Amino acid sequence: MDRPVDPQIAQIEKCISFIKNPTVAALPEAKKFVEDSTVPDFVGIPGDTEIKNEDSAAEQIIKTGKAICRMKMTNGVFGNISARVGDRIIVTETGSSLAELENSIVVCDLGGKPLNSRKPSCEISSHVRIYRETKSNCVVHCHPFFMIANSLLYDEPEIFGFPVIKAEIGDGPNGISSFILPAILEKKLAIVYGHGVFTMGNDNFSEQLKAIYDLEYTLCRDKFTSEISRLLKI
Ligand SMILES: [Zn+2]
């Protein structure tokens, strides 16, 4: 099945090719990239963040999706969010935009089988795996630009102490769901090489949003833009 390619990857690859081969012709675009790269303020989830039942899970997922988009921690439709409530998984619909999840919530059983007419995220198998093997009740997956950029540029097993896994979208022997555990267990955050990040939390999404924000904007962004800035001064 064809899946849409995150257009951020093309921009990241352009930046990396400049870092590896800083030609004069590419200088203006690299300079503009650094100048345009601002850090959004951290926005948490407004109001009560407790997940008590399926309705409040859906509400928290919708608010979390909006917060991720406001902080520019994913690109449009890319990402998925879920919560476990009793013997149900409440999860975002496949192809849905994290900014507008109001009509894109799917209720599944604990195996990831949908119980309403919507189709769950194509990454449901990773969420199922996390719920099956941990006590976590909340999972976020999104595509933060600078985490992806760092994973591609350095190609190392860890970024700032967080594990990087190499895996394909979905399930199967090479799929993310086959690698997400045990990578995510210790730090509750794992980066997928060239793709994005998964986080898990206990009872709400607040800590995960802060963890993604801090790694993206205080560590990964600084490292990546300083690589480019260093070359611009030559
Ligand atoms: Zn993804």
Structural domains in the chain, sorted by start:
8-232 (3.40.225.10)
| Residue 165 pLDDT | 97
Tell me, in angstroms, the distance from the centre of ligand 1 to residue 170's CA.
Answer: 9
Environment class of residue 2 by beta-carbon count within 10 Å: exposed (0-12), middle (13-18) or buried (19+)?
exposed
pLDDT at 200: 98
pLDDT of 216 reads 97
Confidence at residue 201, expressed as pLDDT on a 0 to 100 scale: 96
Q: Which pairing describes strands 88-92 and 105-109: parallel, antiparallel, or unpaired? A: antiparallel
pLDDT at 1: 44
Contact by Cβ (8 Å): 168, 126: no
For position 5, what pLDDT does the model report? 80
The pLDDT of residue 2 = 52
Who surrounds ion ligand 1 at CB < 5 A? 196
* 182 upstream amide cis, omega within 30 of 0: yes
Distance, CA 151 to ligand 1 centroid (Å)?
Answer: 14
* Mean pLDDT of each 10-residue bin along the chain, 234 residues long: 76 92 88 89 90 96 96 90 98 96 97 95 96 97 96 96 93 92 96 97 94 97 92 76
CA of 190 to the centre of ligand 1 (A): 12
> How big is the CA angle at 216 (ends 214 and 220), to the nearest 5 degrees?
110
Is residue 185 within 8 A of residue 136, CB to CB? The reply is: no
> Rounded to the nearest whole angstrom, what is the distance from the C-alpha of residue 209 to the centroid of ligand 1?
16
234 Cα–ligand 1 center, Å: 36
CA distances from 202 to 130, 137, 138, 231 (A): 11, 5, 6, 42
Residues with Cβ < 8 Å from 178, sequence gap 6 or more? 167, 171, 172
Residue 142 CA, ligand 1 centroid: distance in Å:
6
d(CA 68, CA 144): 9
Contact predicate 212/201, CB 8 Å: no
Note the pLDDT of residue 35. 87
